[in-house]
A and B are shown apart, each in its own frame.
Chain A
Amino acid sequence: MSLEFTSSEMMSVTAARALTSDMTCFVGIGLPSEAANLARLTHAPDVTLIYESGTLQTKPDVLPLSIGDGELCESALTTVSVPEMFRYWLQGGHVSVGFLGTAQIDRYANLNTTLIGDYREPKVRLPGGGGAPEIATNAKEVFITVKHSKRTFVKDVDFVTTVGFGRDGKARDNVPNIGRGPTVVITDLCILKPDPDTKELVVTSLHPNVTREEVIEATGWEIRFAESLDTTPEPTAHELEILRDLKARTNAHHAGQQ
């Protein structure tokens, strides 16, 4: 028996599965937040979720629209100031995973959320760094989730807002007190991981019914595939039910506040 699911649902469920109950996760808004809360509501009930607004160990019932919705504060164990969040909890080494989204990502998992084009004359101005530049270096490791497209997966990002492994794959070498960096990238087509030596992203698992050609077509560089390429397990009925409920609750909540 095969379940009906969308590629977005496949992405969220796969991203959620990357988290476990023993992790302390600094959560970015959007896709990472959806995945992190799905994990908490399914297989990882004890995962500790932290948002940069200062909310420690939060358990929102609906997904926040902003990083500081009241829901996050009211369902948190405690709420600290923003300097304390970044200085003590993140820089102090208490975050095991930073979970980030992005507008552009390149072959060395560098992230661009600053702009498309030239800095002084941007074609498209994006929001900027936010918490990501230091989450990516101060968390012990980084998970990234983003939809796969040629516009997003580029050979070299226009601007390194947040470092993956740098322009040459070596940005973390010999830097003291820095996390391992991106260890997994989850898209709506596949799972990618950095090559242990070169740090270039390699496809390690294709989602069900996704072909190599589709991934090649949606990637802006000559993407490599692992020798033993896996097929990502399908979402379970339970995961899909929880995810759909969460999204329906969230939409109703945000629409109902006229």
Chain B
Amino acid sequence: MAEFLSLQEAVSRHISNGDTVCMEGFTHLIPFAAGHEIIRQEKRDLTLIRMTPDLVYDQMIGAGCAKKLIFSWGGNPGVGSLHRLRDAVEKGWPNKLDILEHSHAAMACAYEAGAAGLPFAVLRGYVGSDLPKVNNQIKFIECPFTGERLAAVPSVRPDVAVIHAQRADRKGNVLVEGIVGIQKEVVLAAKRSIVTVEEIVDDLGASVNACVLPSWAITAIAEAPKGASPSYALGYYDRDNAFYKEWDGIARDRETFQTWLKENVFEKGAA
């Protein structure tokens, strides 16, 4: 059964230096509150996996939490670059960052294979792309039935999955609504999971086919209202597109970034 913890305790107990951590939410329900708590607790040498690193990993990379990043699209959506990610890759600041990049299709398949307990995923992918030349985790196999050449990538099976969701009931069952991304897959693929939620309620109000993660499939739940902001939580608040644009200016410069980090993360405790 999922254990209800404070966010501080959930992160402290379940994320260790050197862990492989997937904080997912495909442009929706991005677990920013949890990311900030990881920064505050100064976790180090994490291998971070996320399809779209987004601002949350830009912040964590800039804060020095990561040694490696596995991703498939590393931009600020609709705005431009992730400057902290670029600074780490291009200049090694604040530390060297190894990267391993995929396509979205491959990563989505890798999460699904992880949830299915399989060692690898197979897809009709990477045809003609240079990505297999720079990522030794992309291989090609022959279909045993048709002989077709298909791409194979190892499944994602992280130490810890971190997601944000709309709500949990008092037993710890969690409802995810809207763009569900790969929330379910990443939780099932991981050894441990932390789910932050907007609120804890008596009744989830889930329809029969809703995306519900049962309590017994989750390790820890922490209440974190507005825990996905400046991303959004459908039914609770909108994406703060203005902040996504503002981030470009904040992250472009190391000092401006560090000032922002100090004022908005370190000097603000976990809820």
Contact = CB atoms under 8 A, between A and B. Distances in A.
Interface of A: 29-30, 52-55, 64-70, 72-74, 79-83, 85-87, 90-91, 110, 114, 119, 122, 125-134, 137-138, 159-163, 166, 171-172, 175-178, 253-258
Given A82-B182, A119-B134, A127 B103 contact: no
Contact of A54 (B26, B51, B232): B26
A132 B130 CA distance: 13
B137 to A, nearest CB: 14
Mostly helix, strand, loop or mixed at chain A's interface?
Answer: loop
A73 B182 contact: no
Given A29-B77, A133-B105, A79 B27 contact: no
B185 interface: yes
B181 A82 contact: yes
Contacts of A125: 74, 81, 85-86, 89-90
24 contacts: A53-B181, A54-B180, A66-B77, A66-B244, A69-B241, A74-B234, A81-B211, A82-B51, A83-B185, A86-B123, A87-B112, A90-B105, A114-B131, A119-B134, A128-B71, A128-B72, A132-B103, A133-B103, A134-B126, A137-B125, A163-B129, A176-B148, A257-B240, A258-B242
A67 B181 CA distance: 12
B130 A127 contact: no
A73 B211 CA distance: 15
Contacts of A110: 128
A91 B104 contact: no
Interface string B171-191: 000000011111011000000
A110 B127 CA distance: 12
A113 to B, nearest CB: 9
Interface of B: 26-28, 51-52, 71-75, 77-79, 81-82, 85-86, 89-90, 101-106, 108-109, 111-112, 123-131, 134, 148, 178-182, 184-185, 211, 232, 234, 238-242, 244-245
User: Lowest 8 A-B CB distances belong to which pairs?
Assistant: A68-B27, A163-B128, A127-B75, A66-B77, A130-B73, A65-B78, A134-B105, A171-B128
Contacts of B105: 86-87, 90-91, 131, 133-134
A56 B134 CA distance: 33
Nearest to A157: B130
Nearest to A55: B179
B127 A163 contact: yes
Contact of B180 (A81, A255, A257, A258): A81
Contacts of B106: 134
Contacts of B71: 128
A119 B134 CA distance: 8
B73 A129 contact: yes
Residue from the set A30, A66, A86, A90 with the largest chain B CB neighbour count within 10 Å? A66
Contacts of A138: 124
Given A64-B78, A73-B234, 12 more contacts: A53-B179, A65-B239, A67-B27, A68-B181, A81-B180, A83-B111, A86-B104, A127-B74, A129-B102, A133-B131, A134-B103, A257-B238
A65 B180 contact: no
Contact of A175 (B104, B108, B127, B242): B127
Given A81-B180, A82-B104, A87-B108, A53 B28 contact: yes
Contacts of B89: 122, 125
Contact of A66 (B27, B123, B184, B211): B27
Contacts of B104: 52, 82, 86, 129-131, 134
Contacts of A81: 180-182, 184-185, 211
Contacts of B244: 65-66
Nearest to A119: B134
A161 B135 CA distance: 12
Given A65-B239, A130-B72, A122 B90 contact: yes
Contacts of A163: 127-129
Contact of A83 (B52, B77, B81, B109): B109
Nearest to A178: B127
